[in-house]
Amino acid sequence: MLRLLATIKKELLVLLRDRGGLAILFVMPIVMIALMALIQDAPFRDYQELKIPLLLVNNDTGVLGETLEDGLKKSKIFVINELSIPESEAKGYIAKSKYEIGIVIPVNASDSFKANVAKFVAHKMGSEDSLGKGLPYTPNRDLYINVYFAPGTKKSFKASIMSSLRQFSSKLSTFTMLDMFIKELGVTQDSADKNKDVMSDFVSFSERDAIESERENFSLNSVQHNVPAWTIFGMFFIVLSMAGSLIKERDDGSYLRLRTMPGSYTTVMAGKITAYLVICLIQCVLMLMVGIYLMPLLGLPKLVIGTNIAAIALIAISCGLAATGSGILVGTIFNTHQQATTFGAVSIVILAALGGIWVPVYIMPDSIRFLAEISPLYWALSAFHEIFISYGTVGSVFPYALKLLLFFVATVGISHVINTTKSYR
């Protein structure tokens, strides 16, 4: 135990006096968290929170323009600016991305709309008469409501907006037709209004969250993604310090001295692992505090970590061990500090990219997404998302912890075999 404690103390002292190493381990992740959370805040909001600026030019004075305007306002996803300007000017605003969407309702659109519906009703009513002949139905094809999109608008977003507008138009047509049929049939207006209410209830849609909880539900925002992501990245950067420490000990003869001392070298390694794990855990706590306290000061949402501290601790420890295991492996395989730091840094960046640290895995192409599964950073990030967003428990994140722990065992085991082979040539 004395040897173990002495090694832990020595390693911590060496680490604390390495200012460059400390900057990499603590300052770099804080900077990355703040920077990436700020940069990615808007893209995350685009999909989840942001209200879309919309320019409405309503040249119609009838029911169509009025109803469409009401519908857009009720949707609550648009910030509507209504202007009475020529269509060419409106188009210019959209082209300059001053607004995301522009809708231009032409003059007398309601009249054209009603005329079309009336023709259709007359045609249908006529087809049911005793002669079996109705008036011919030829809709007025001149009625267009132009919808302009800003340059660079995603196709999926365009499709979603157009689908909503068509659905709205369809519903309005149906109600108008119903009105006309009712008038033709001589039904009272009260009864007609009741029928409209019933129609809208044929099918009901209810918006629910997949995870139901008494707590406030929230989506994956920039902070919820970037804080755990860069915390894990920072923890894995301990590979550089760990590998550097092992190579330095080999270079300066300390490793040989340690191996001539009584007791197992495993105790020395256990001391090293414990010291570096402590640093990883301090990193983790510090970064989560940055998410909770610093992010709101930058105008970003506060990090929500839930209440399952045991699950967080399990993943933090597992992730820290996986990181130190990587450091031992890199420090064992490579003979020079330069080789180890170059490979260590590059490999972490690659594993981070694959693991969804830079951008979430779900927006990656399918051809790359499956590669995330090989990254220990992805396992850790998935576990943190599970805890923070889906209210995961120790049980639900245990598979991730197990993967990380197996990774640690594998890296340390391989290092041991290589080390033994090297030492006893």
Partner 1 sequence: METRESIKVENLIKIYKGSTAPAVNSISFSVDKGSIFGLLGPNGAGKTTTISILCGLIKPTSGTVHIHGLSLEKKAGEIKKIIGVVPQEIALYPTLTAYENLQYIGNMYGLKGDVLKEKIRHYLDIFGLEKNAKKRVETYSGGMKRRLNLIAGIMHEPKILFLDEPTVGIDVQSRTVITEFLHKMNKQGTTIIYTSHLMEEAENLCSHIAIIDEGHIKISGTPENLIREHSVENIEKLFLKLTGKKLRD
Binding residues for partner 1 (CB under 8 A) = 2-3, 5-7, 9-10, 13-14, 17-18, 251-254, 256-263, 268, 423-425
Identify which of residues 193 and 251 has a Cβ nearer to partner 1 in the complex.
251
Identify which of residues 67 and 245 has a Cβ nearer to partner 1 in the complex.
245
Shortest spacing between CB 38 and partner 1, in angstroms: 35
Phi, psi of 45, deg, nearest 5: -65, -35
Identify which of residues 14 and 304 has a Cβ nearer to partner 1 in the complex.
14
Shortest spacing between CB 24 and partner 1, in angstroms: 16
Shortest spacing between CB 341 and partner 1, in angstroms: 18
Identify which of residues 253 and 395 has a Cβ nearer to partner 1 in the complex.
253
Shortest spacing between CB 39 and partner 1, in angstroms: 36
Shortest spacing between CB 255 and partner 1, in angstroms: 8
Shortest spacing between CB 1 and partner 1, in angstroms: 10
Identify which of residues 196 and 257 has a Cβ nearer to partner 1 in the complex.
257
Identify which of residues 21 and 392 has a Cβ nearer to partner 1 in the complex.
21
List, as own/partner pairs, every contact residues 356-364 make where C-beta atoms lie below 8 angstroms and the sequence separation is at least 24, other chains included.
356/229, 356/381, 357/229, 357/230, 357/232, 357/233, 357/381, 358/36, 358/229, 359/40, 360/220, 360/225
Shortest spacing between CB 294 and partner 1, in angstroms: 30
Which amino acid is it at 422?
K
Identify which of residues 265 and 358 has a Cβ nearer to partner 1 in the complex.
265
Angle between helices 238-251 and 222-236 (to 10 degrees): 10
Shortest spacing between CB 228 and partner 1, in angstroms: 32
Identify which of residues 215 and 422 has a Cβ nearer to partner 1 in the complex.
422
HEC letters along the chain: CHHHHHHHHHHHHHHHCCHHHHHHHHHHHHHHHHHHHHHHHHHHHHHHCCCEEEEEEECCCCHHHHHHHHHHHHHCCEEEEECCCCHHHHHHHHHCCCCCEEEEECCCHHHHHHHHHHHHHHHHHHHCCCCCCCCCCCCCCCCCCEEEECCCCCHHHHHHHHHHHHHHHHHHHHHHHHHHHHHHHCCCHHHHHHHHHHHHCCCCCCCCCCCCCCCCCCCCCHHHHHHHHHHHHHHHCHHHHHHHHHHHHHHCCHHHHHHCCCCCHHHHHHHHHHHHHHHHHHHHHHHHHHHHHHHHHCCCCCCCCCCCHHHHHHHHHHHHHHHHHHHHHHHHHCCCHHHHHHHHHHHHHHHHHHCCCCCCHHHCCHHHHHHHHHCHHHHHHHHHHHHHCCCCCHHHHHHHHHHHHHHHHHHHHHHHHHHHHHHCC
Identify which of residues 8 and 57 has a Cβ nearer to partner 1 in the complex.
8
Shortest spacing between CB 17 and partner 1, in angstroms: 4
Identify which of residues 11 and 60 has a Cβ nearer to partner 1 in the complex.
11
Shortest spacing between CB 330 and partner 1, in angstroms: 21
